[in-house]
Amino acid sequence: MKKLEKKSKKKLLLNKMSVFFLAIVAVLSVLAYKGLQQTYAALTDADEKQNEFRISDLRTEIEEEFVPPGTFEPEKDYKKIVTVKNTGDMNSFVRVLALPVITKTSSGGAVTLLPATTEGSDAVLTIDYNLTDWVDGKDGYFYYKKKLTAGEKTAPLFTIVRMNQANITDEYTGAVLDFEIKVEGIGATKYAYRDAWWNSQTPSASPLLDVDNLLKDQTDGN
């Protein structure tokens, strides 16, 4: 009988201790949850403030005059005028990637991508790049030499495209010419263009060094 009473008391004690520990865990969980709530709220508040933070509007648009020909004939000049307009309300620098694309579609519908080289003695295309107002960065981009103010438009990057008969084969018969054009505009603050285009580095050699020398004296606040 005494043994049973001892066991009952011990069991009761264990139950009370279990309840006590569970209560502690519950309190700690609530505190941890509140801590998480506060952290999450702080991050959310910061995100909302960041999203609402807006200085001005930086926008650039490509403007072009070009109707892709049904077929692309050699030794014939095709008009393609490519310019960039600053349609935002802040000054900007711009660079443009203009990639010519020549394709041919077979009778079965298969599309073949043909070489569309623009440099060297065996160039397939001749393009009259405007290197008076633009710099060929040799990194795929052409850089405009001047800062664009709001509403201002660049001089054309080029105006004429021609396919060179001497550097093509019969597979170019019936080919179609098009262009993939990408423009990148960056605010003219000091030195945002280096951060955006060259990983915050100053170019060490031409032609990008030439671009940097042209733009650095045009940054806002000089």
Query: What 3 state SS string does the chain have?
Result: CHHHHHHHHHHHHHHHHHHHHHHHHHHHHHHHHHHHHHHHHHHHHHHHHHHHCCCCCCCEEEEEECCCCCCCCCCCCEECEEEEEECCCCCEEEEEEEEEEEEEECCCCCEEEECCCCCCCCCCEEECCCCCCEEECCCCCEEECCCECCCCECCCCCCEEEECHHHCCHHHCCCEEEEEEEEEEEECECCHHHHHHCCCCCCCCCCHHHHHHHHHHHCECC
SS3 label, residue 48: helix
What pLDDT, in 10s, does the model give residues 109-153?
A: 899 999 999 999 999 999 999 999 999 999 999 999 999 999 999
Q: Mean pLDDT check: name the lowest of 11-25, 68-82, 138-152, 184-198.
A: 11-25
Residue 22 pLDDT exceeds 50? no
Q: How confident is the model at residue 33 (pLDDT cuts 50, 70, 90)?
A: very low
For residue 6, what pLDDT is reported?
46
For residue 200, what pLDDT is reported?
95
Tell me the mean pLDDT in the region 65-79: 81
Q: How confident is the model at residue 19 (pLDDT cuts 50, 70, 90)?
A: very low
For residue 63, what pLDDT is reported?
81
Q: Mean pLDDT check: name the lowest of 8-17, 58-67, 193-202.
A: 8-17
Higher per-residue pLDDT: 175 or 55 = 175
Tell me the mean pLDDT in the region 159-179: 91
What is the residue-averaged pLDDT of the chain?
78
Cα angle for residues 189, 190, 193 (degrees, 5° grid): 80
| Kind and range of the H or E run holding 97 | strand 92-105
CA pair distance 202, 205, nearest whole angstrom: 9
- Residue type, position 76, single letter: K
Residue 77 pLDDT exceeds 70? yes
The domains of the chain are located at: 1-53, 60-218
CA pair distance 33, 26, nearest whole angstrom: 10
Higher per-residue pLDDT: 15 or 82 = 82
